[in-house]
Amino acid sequence: MPPTVLLSAPPGGPADDLRGWLAAAGFAVRPHALGSAPAVDLAAAAAAVVDAADPPAAAAQTRRWRAELGDDLVPVVWVLPAADPDLAARGLDAGADAVLARPLAAGVFVAQVRAAARARAAAARVAARAAEGRLLGDQLKKAYAQLDRDAEAARRVRLAFLGRPLPAVPGAGLAVSHRPRARDGGDFTAAHPAGPGRVAFLVGDVLAPAPALLGRFAAEAAAAADGPGRMLAAANRELLRLGWDDQPLVGMLAGVFDATTGELTVARAGLPAPVRVPADGDPEAWAVPGPFLGTAETTYPTRTAVLAPGDRFLVGTDGTRPDGAPGPGGGSGLAAAAARHRGLAGQLYVDAVAEELLAQVRHEDDFTLLCLEFLPGRRGDGPAPAVTSGPTDAGPDS
């Protein structure tokens, strides 16, 4: 379909030559009476040509067209009856994009109209892309809003799990200090009775998308196995089975404590080194080897020790470190803070240690600190209470 040019000329005016040149050049010409009141569909035209034999009428009409068009660009070409700088300036001020004057060469006139049509087509393409951009922007806003809602829902679910009461096992005291510092934080904890006088526990941190869901996924997989080493290996296998191109990294420490004997067995996967705090003596960092979950099929060695009554065992996520760096290295200040507040007990103790560490933190990662305490004179000698947190059926490594 040939491009349309609106040709506006005074009634009976000498515009036959312009019409003939446009038609010969392949344009579809729509005549228009200069100064006529009926509305004109300018948006359908590639350009408008005004035979400005009546300059005041041409100027008034051009201004009206510009007001009607708004931001829509339809080039207007004026043709003056004779060269006149003042009239040319008047036409440009009125909104014309180009001003030609008779005597006029057909080739120059047609080339000018073609240039105007190209400008119109280019402007239409830009406008279409801008509209597509606005539509895409609106869709992205809706998608981001949905992601925010999903992230908030996952955060609430994760905090609900973290807020569950820890199980009561005679002779074993468990306390957790969790400070959510990031909206999509990945810290998680779980604990459950593992037989008479025994408690299984874990602390984890997810370094991947959808941390709340992955944390629960890893915790459920770990709790289905017996013993800390197998707990970590089971969670690792399930994470690898997800088959992600960018495998998620999950740090976790799992442990089983027997309050009838004081025996504690732990296995570690990427979290900072835990700290044993004797009732008397200096705290000791436990360098338990073990890579992050989700990296490769592997096994996780365990470390076992017998706690004395009054001894404590502290496990923190990466958020307990000043720089939030992951991995097993030292530098968190956990041992020193644990020693300074050993006069406190239970939740007061773990909260005091947490407050001291938080004063040194320079990041926004979630902060989680779990404390296991061997309570003197309260060794377990009866059946484990009902489960109040997490799944059951965990046991020691064989």
Q: Are residue 346 and residue 212 in the same domain, yes or no?
A: yes
How would you classify residue 35: left for phi > 0, otherwise alpha for psi between -120 and 50, otherwise beta? left
CB 300 within 8 A of CB 268: yes
Q: Are residue 205 and residue 334 in the same domain, yes or no?
A: yes
Instruction: Give percent of the chain with pLDDT exceeding 70.
Output: 84
pLDDT of residue 152: 62
Q: Are residue 124 and residue 16 in the same domain, yes or no?
A: yes
Query: Which residue among 111, 129, 147 closes a domain?
Result: 129
pLDDT tens column, 106-122: 999 999 999 999 999 89
Average pLDDT, the chain: 85
pLDDT of residue 103: 94
Sign of the dihedral defined by the CA atoms of residues 164, 169, 170, 176, in that order: negative
pLDDT band at 237 (very low <50, low <70, confident <90, very high): very high
pLDDT of residue 73: 87
Whole-number Å distance between alpha carbons of 46 and 66? 15
Residue 260 domain-assigned? yes
pLDDT tens column, 20-74: 999 999 999 999 999 886 667 787 899 999 999 999 999 999 999 998 888 888 9
Residue 154 domain-assigned? no
pLDDT of residue 144: 81
Secondary-structure percent of the chain, ordered helix, strand, coil, rounded to 5 = 35, 25, 40
pLDDT of residue 38: 63
Helix, strand, or coil here: 231?
helix
Residue 392 domain-assigned? no
Q: Are residue 175 and residue 265 in the same domain, yes or no?
A: yes
pLDDT band at 381 (very low <50, low <70, confident <90, very high): very low
Q: Are residue 13 and residue 110 in the same domain, yes or no?
A: yes
pLDDT of residue 59: 95
Residue 2 CB neighbour total at 10 angstroms: 12
pLDDT of residue 383: 38
Residue 388 domain-assigned? no
pLDDT tens column, 59-109: 999 999 998 888 888 999 999 999 999 999 999 999 999 999 999 999 999
CATH code of the domain containing 9: 3.40.50.2300
Q: Are residue 222 and residue 357 in the same domain, yes or no?
A: yes
pLDDT above 70: residue 393: no
CATH code of the domain containing 252: 3.60.40.10
pLDDT of residue 382: 40
Q: Are residue 109 and residue 213 in the same domain, yes or no?
A: no
Whole-number Å distance between alpha carbons of 17 and 31? 13
Whole-number Å distance between alpha carbons of 372 and 384? 17
Give every strand in the sheet of 198-207, ordered side by side: 187-193, 198-207, 249-258, 263-269, 302-306
pLDDT above 70: residue 245: yes
Q: Are residue 125 and residue 230 in the same domain, yes or no?
A: no
Q: Are residue 224 and residue 353 in the same domain, yes or no?
A: yes
Q: Are residue 190 and residue 109 in the same domain, yes or no?
A: no
Phi and psi at 220, nearest 5°, equal: -65, -40
Domain that holds residue 117: 4-129
Whole-number Å distance between alpha carbons of 180 and 187? 9
Q: Are residue 316 and residue 200 in the same domain, yes or no?
A: yes
Total tally of structural domains belonging to the chain: 2
Whole-number Å distance between alpha carbons of 10 and 182? 72
Residues 6 or more apart whose CB falls under 8 angstroms from that of 390 comprise 164, 190, 191, 192, 219, 223
Whole-number Å distance between alpha carbons of 49 and 91? 12
